[in-house]
Amino acid sequence: IGTSGLSAPELSQLRKSSEERGVPALYIPNFAIGAVLMMKFASEAAKYMPECEIIELHHEKKADAPSGTATRTAELIAAHRLRRPDKGRSDMIRVEGVRGGAIGETPIHSVRLPGLLAHQMVIFGGTGEVLTIRHDSMDRSSFMGGVLFALRAFQGREGLIVGLESLLN
């Protein structure tokens, strides 16, 4: 299954169906290998730079916000942080919701506009420095390498495989 936005109960049902039938299943929210590497790099950076925010930009017809990739990135960052991020100043917020939503203490900002396909930045801030990890899919052909890789790496697997990163390791 190549989509994002499946809920935890839906994934649980997919896992159960796969096990009951003895048929392996793939759930890959993002087939872009570069996006998966971006998530991996961001989770590593979070160990040393816990203050970060995610900005994700997609075409205006994208159904979910935040994207599955942004959600998974925030989850990975939360799992790999060695310390909690500073809260910052909340007294400066003049418009409710302007800081975006948050997953695991990582603010996420979602943009939906014509002319975009799929883009994400994870911006880490430290004393006197900023690290930006960015991935851009300019064309849907960027997903083909991951599709082909997943089909080859999937051979001989059992149960439900979640995420292309599970096959890269």
For residue 19, give every residue at least 6 positions away whose Cβ sits within 8 Å of its Cβ, in sequence order, or none: 159, 160
Which of 59, 62, 87, 109 is catalytic? The answer is 62
Active site residue 16: no
Catalytic residue among 40, 47, 58, 59: 58
Instruction: Report in angstroms the alpha-carbon separations of 143 from 37, 96, 113, 149.
Output: 13, 36, 20, 10
Q: Are 132 and 122 in contact (CB under 8 A)?
A: yes
Residue type (1 letter), 35: A
Q: Is 40 a catalytic residue?
A: no
Tokens representing residue 1 in the block: 């299954």
User: Which residues are the active-site residues?
Assistant: 58, 62
